[in-house]
């Protein structure tokens, strides 16, 4: 099941890290929710294959350690989501459809 494309309106912001919003459900380490507003990554779907990090021409992502998460113990954190140029490369290469991109 892919990322919820309506998470920005259907889910509550429950936390924030480095200025990046985190949307529910958030109950670490097992549930990490969706991180980011312009570039959203469903941390519960992300398997950390790195395809989005390699595909992004403007370095939106960096690795974030998430020890204890069942899908993977690191995630592609959209730390530089403001730099996104909306090329959709990350969305197109994500093998589990964990990324959603929408202009602000």
Q: Which residues are annotated as a binding site?
A: 46, 52, 56, 84, 87, 90, 94
Residues forming the annotated binding site for [3Fe-4S] cluster? 46, 52, 94
Residues forming the annotated binding site for [4Fe-4S] cluster? 56, 84, 87, 90
The residue with tokens 């312009």 is 38
Q: Kindly write down the DSSP assignment for every residue of 31-58, as one continuous string.
A: B--EE-SSEEEETTT-----HHHHH-TT
Residue 41 bridge partners (DSSP):
35, 99
């Amino acid at each position: 099941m892919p990322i919820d494309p309506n998470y920005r309106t259907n889910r509550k912001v429950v936390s924030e890290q480095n200025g990046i919003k985190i949307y529910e459900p958030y109950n670490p380490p097992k549930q990490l929710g969706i991180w980011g507003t312009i570039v959203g990554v469903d941390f519960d779907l992300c398997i950390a294959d790195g395809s989005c990090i390699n595909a992004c021409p403007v370095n939106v992502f960096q690795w974030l350690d998430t020890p204890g998460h069942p899908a993977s113990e690191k995630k592609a954190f959209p730390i530089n989501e403001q730099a996104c140029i909306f090329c959709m490369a990350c969305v197109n290469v994500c093998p589990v459809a964990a990324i959603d991109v929408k202009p602000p």
